[in-house]
Chain A
Amino acid sequence: MKRLARSAGPAPIHSPSCGAVPRKDIPMRFPILSMLAAGLLMLLGSAAFAEPPTVKPPAGTRAENPGMPEGIEVPKPPFSEGIFPCTSCHDGKSMKPNLKRRELTDMHTDIVLNHGPASRWCLDCHDANSRDSLHLASGEKVPFTASYLLCGQCHGDKLRDWRVGVHGKRTGHWNGEKQYLLCVHCHNPHSPRFKPLKPMAPPAHPEEIQARKGGVR
């Protein structure tokens, strides 16, 4: 598991995808950047990058996390065994993309889609032409390692809380390096409701407790 140092200097902002989207989109996607100063900072900052990042970090919101969200390093997405890379089957040659909405019968029949409206299907999130990546509603491609951007299109409040470490699990150090998880480590993207668990043993009733004899006091 890789780590993110909260107190690190201005981290390089990695472009998670091809960078095809015009930068004007950016403030729309992050309405929390309401402050003029923050916007200005953004513009100045972006001018310094030859390769413009597709999504800007929420500059000025959580000052100690420069480079977020693209600086967020996460463990590998929890793919099913042997499923990735998708292009090992979906290579675009032997298997032509079929864009027709349909029930899958030959492959991936184990996937039950229970996420949002019934009209939703595979290619709303998976990219038909670049199978090893996902795509946003805008068509912009995102890698599986940045799938939180995709989730955040609808669940913006959760994404905002996740960035600051309030939604989702953090491990590591409260004053230093923390480990992050992707949304999909806890929520199956095809059926995202958190699965019930068997509770561990309850405490013993007082009448069941027998103190041991002996001891030093």
Chain B
Amino acid sequence: MTDPKPITPPESCGDSGCGTRREFLGAATAAMAAALTGCGTLSKEEFLQHNFRELSKQEVQDVIARLEKEYKAKYGKDVKVANTPAIPGVIFGYALDLSRCIGCRRCVHACVKENNQSRDPEVQWIRVLQMDKEEGVNLQHADQYYNPEEVPQEGHFYMPVQCQQCKKPPCTKVCPVGATWREKDGIVVVDYNWCIGCRYCMAACPYGARHFNWGEPNLPADQVNTNTHYLGNRPRPKGVVEKCTFCIQRTRNGQYPACVEICPTGSRKFGNLLDKDSEIRYVLENKRVFKFKEDLNTQPNFFYFYGV
């Protein structure tokens, strides 16, 4: 910062003597924030906000109120930002049936719709890989840009890849500011207000599951999903990393993730790993299951299986 903006006390007070120390400091902070971040629209509160995990209950409420006000101004809609905590005794698990997936990408677009991703350019949290049956799960023979008239294509199978919600997530380990962490129910989340956009986590993730908003996310107001979670699908600012959260705004309320709901083949299974009667446990106990890139010891809570 070689050329910080000059800080001057507010001038509009005239002789009424209202140029108090508090107002002066407020303006000074805002000016500093503008100078430090190189732009003028960051509010003082946002600039001074702490890491989400360090906030008191009252501060969380204030932050959420501020965000809801900002979203209202931006989209003209009442966006509800929830702060639902993890359900005790629940660790989420996900299983995807590779013998059934036909690669229709319904999940990809249901996810975009549910999670308020940028539409243009479209940020997609799920990437469906078309693989050769002869090669098996071999990333050297994977194509994510396939676009034939009909799927499935002869001789191919399809493997959707999204955040694997690792028990040992390399992405959280490398974050220099602690803006991303694993919640108690196993969901790896990002505090978009604390993320500095260094993208170390993207380099660390072996699944390509994290995505960066290079530009201002282009989310048309009429397509905003107003049911959001602070750590999930609330509209993001430019310059932060985002990722699949198992639809935290849905699953913490008992619903299935949007990708499970949309899948026309029923390939996607979701549930509580700690509930021995859950679908996910049935899959793990009775089907042929594998973890993607198991050799990296990331220990995903996302499994692939063969249902037949």
Contact = CB atoms under 8 A, between A and B. Distances in A.
Interface of A: 62-64, 161, 164-176, 186, 194, 196-205, 208-217
Interface residues of B, number: 57
A147 to B, nearest CB: 17
A172 B256 contact: yes
Contact of A174 (B144, B150, B152, B272): B272
B302 to A, nearest CB: 15
A203 B128 CA distance: 9
Given A164-B282, A200-B108, A217 B149 contact: no
Contact of B254 (A168, A170, A173, A213): A173
B164 interface: no
Nearest to B280: A174
Contact of A170 (B147, B265, B266): B266
Interface stretch (B59-67, B75-83, B99-107, B292-300): B99-107
A169 B265 contact: yes
B68 interface: no
B271 interface: yes
Given A166-B283, A202-B144, A217 B37 contact: yes
Contacts of B277: 62-64
B266 A168 contact: yes
Contacts of A214: 215-216
B175 to A, nearest CB: 17
A205 B143 CA distance: 12
A186 B121 CA distance: 34
B127 interface: yes
A175 B90 CA distance: 10
B241 to A, nearest CB: 12
A199 B216 contact: no
A21 B240 CA distance: 65
Interface in B121-151: 121-122, 124, 127, 144-151
B264 interface: yes
A186 B145 contact: no
23 contacts: A63-B277, A165-B269, A165-B279, A166-B269, A171-B256, A172-B255, A173-B254, A174-B271, A196-B151, A196-B152, A197-B102, A197-B104, A199-B103, A199-B105, A199-B146, A203-B127, A205-B145, A209-B214, A212-B215, A212-B218, A216-B39, A216-B237, A217-B42
A64 B147 CA distance: 42
Interface of B: 37, 39, 41-42, 90, 102-106, 108-109, 121-122, 124, 127, 144-152, 197, 214-216, 218, 237-240, 251, 254-256, 260-261, 263-266, 269-272, 275, 277-279, 282-283, 286-287, 307
Nearest to A208: B121
A168 B277 CA distance: 17
A205 B279 CA distance: 36
A211 B264 contact: no
Q: Which 7 A-B pairs have the closest CB atoms?
A: A215-B216, A211-B215, A169-B266, A215-B238, A212-B215, A196-B150, A211-B214
Dominant SS among interface residues on chain B:
loop
B279 A200 contact: no
B51 to A, nearest CB: 17
Given A174-B271, A202-B105, A216-B42, A186 B124 contact: no
Nearest to B251: A174
A99 to B, nearest CB: 36
Contacts of A186: 264-266
A200 B104 contact: yes
Given A202-B144, A205-B145, A217-B39, A197 B255 contact: no
Contacts of B102: 194, 196-197
A44 to B, nearest CB: 22
Contact of B239 (A169, A209, A217): A217
Given A172-B255, A212-B215, A215-B239, A197 B121 contact: no
A55 B93 CA distance: 33
B122 A203 contact: yes
A65 to B, nearest CB: 8
A194 B197 CA distance: 43
Contacts of B145: 202-203, 205
Nearest to A205: B145
A165 to B, nearest CB: 4
A114 B26 CA distance: 76
Contacts of B261: 171
Given A174-B251, A217-B238, 18 more contacts: A62-B277, A166-B269, A167-B266, A169-B265, A169-B266, A170-B269, A173-B256, A186-B265, A186-B266, A198-B151, A199-B147, A199-B151, A201-B105, A203-B145, A205-B145, A211-B215, A215-B216, A215-B239
